[in-house]
Amino acid sequence: MGRYPREGDRDCKFCGKRIILRAKYDRNKVFCDRNCAVEHRRRIEAEKMEASKIPCKYCGKLFKSYENAVFCSPACVNMSRRIYYDRVCQTCGKEFQVRNIYEIKRGDHKYCSPECYKRKYTFVEVDFSVQSHETMYWLGFMFATVSGMEETHIELDADEASLVRLVGYLKGNMSPFKCMDLYRLKLYSRPFVRKMGLIGLRDDLYQEAPVVHPDYVMDFVRGFMDSPNGYVYRDGADTVVALHGRDSKLMRWIADMTGGQITYKDKEWVVVCRNLTAMCDGLPRNEDKWARIAGRGEAVTQPSQ
């Protein structure tokens, strides 16, 4: 026998059938019977499973991943081993390729070599064979400040501020340390040492000039000038730049590029330039030295030669 609907009656949450509340204990009832409650639970679980599916790394098919699996089947696992995956070394920044996606998933293959994995101090190994204003500036600075080259590292001696700027350019985590009257920076990397050696960087008296595009020659000279081997002094009304070095071939090349005069004294080659200001357009890195060249700084005394 039917009755009129009363306040509190509602539709079944699953099938939509009207639920008639016949007793007080029915007031929390949301399904018309047990079957609707079971089917509703199954639907919720199916939706959750569908939402948790991920695409297969090889074929792209959606599947339920168990134990962080990334392939939907053993066949896709075997086929994936034929694909190379691009990675970037977190130590030197070098790009390399791997084939084992499982090792990538576990967090392995972050480094291109065991050496990079063991290195405590890291920096981006800039490819100085790719020439630009920035790379040639720092290449000139390194040619002027190199004091030692071993199979594992390069040593650079300069003032602390310049070495800190170099570390910032290389995005490194090392710090220069006091060594005699200057500061020293060590760059540990066998591949980087080999690449710099191919460019021409050496720590002996036979260092030759690298092959520099004419557009970037003065950037190289500015980098050399901003090292402790570059000096500025007054000669009457003229501002004179003196570049000091031990390597005859390198210093003769700088003299030819700048039109300076080269002399040899006290076991050093000295290139003296009077017209360097007009040839050094661009943003200077060492504001103190280049302000003197531009005539904005105070007069400085001539260095002892």
Q: What is the CATH number of the domain that holds 168?
A: 3.10.28.10
Identify whether 260 is part of a domain: yes
Q: Which residues contact 29 (CB under 8 A, 6 or more apart)?
A: 19, 21
Identify whether 253 is part of a domain: yes
User: Which own/partner pairs from 112-117 qualify as long-range (CB within 8 Å, at least 24 positions apart)?
Assistant: 112/87, 113/89, 113/191, 115/189, 115/190, 115/191, 116/89, 116/90, 116/91, 116/92, 116/189, 117/91
Predicted pLDDT at 90:
75
Query: Which pairing describes strands 238-245 and 261-265: parallel, antiparallel, or unpaired?
Result: unpaired
pLDDT along the chain (305 residues), means of 10: 54 74 65 79 75 80 79 83 78 76 59 75 88 92 93 91 92 89 90 91 86 90 89 77 90 90 89 71 65 54 42
Predicted pLDDT at 2:
47
Domain co-membership, 192 together with 239: no
Identify whether 188 is part of a domain: yes
Domain endpoint, select from 173, 207, 241: 207
Domain co-membership, 203 together with 265: no
Identify whether 217 is part of a domain: no
Predicted pLDDT at 74:
85
How many structural domains is the chain composed of? 3
Identify whether 143 is part of a domain: yes
Predicted pLDDT at 22:
65
Domain co-membership, 234 together with 202: no
Domain co-membership, 227 together with 284: yes
Domain co-membership, 202 together with 246: no
Domain endpoint, select from 207, 237, 258: 207
Predicted pLDDT at 298:
46
Identify whether 240 is part of a domain: yes
Domain co-membership, 203 together with 141: yes
Identify whether 261 is part of a domain: yes
Predicted pLDDT at 218:
87
Q: What is the pLDDT of residues 85-107, one digit of tens each?
A: 788 887 777 788 877 665 555 45
Domain co-membership, 178 together with 145: yes
Burial 176-192 (b: 16+ CB within 10 A, else e): beeeeebbbbebbbeeb
Domain co-membership, 171 together with 197: yes
Domain co-membership, 143 together with 191: yes
Residue (of 290, 116, 147) closest to 219 by Cα position: 290
Domain endpoint, select from 70, 97, 116: 70
What's the Cα-to-Cα distance from 5 to each of 8, 9, 18, 155, 257, rounded to whole Å?
9, 7, 9, 91, 101
Domain co-membership, 231 together with 176: no
Structural domain span for residue 57: 35-70
Predicted pLDDT at 23:
60
Domain co-membership, 165 together with 203: yes
Predicted pLDDT at 301:
41
Identify whether 65 is part of a domain: yes
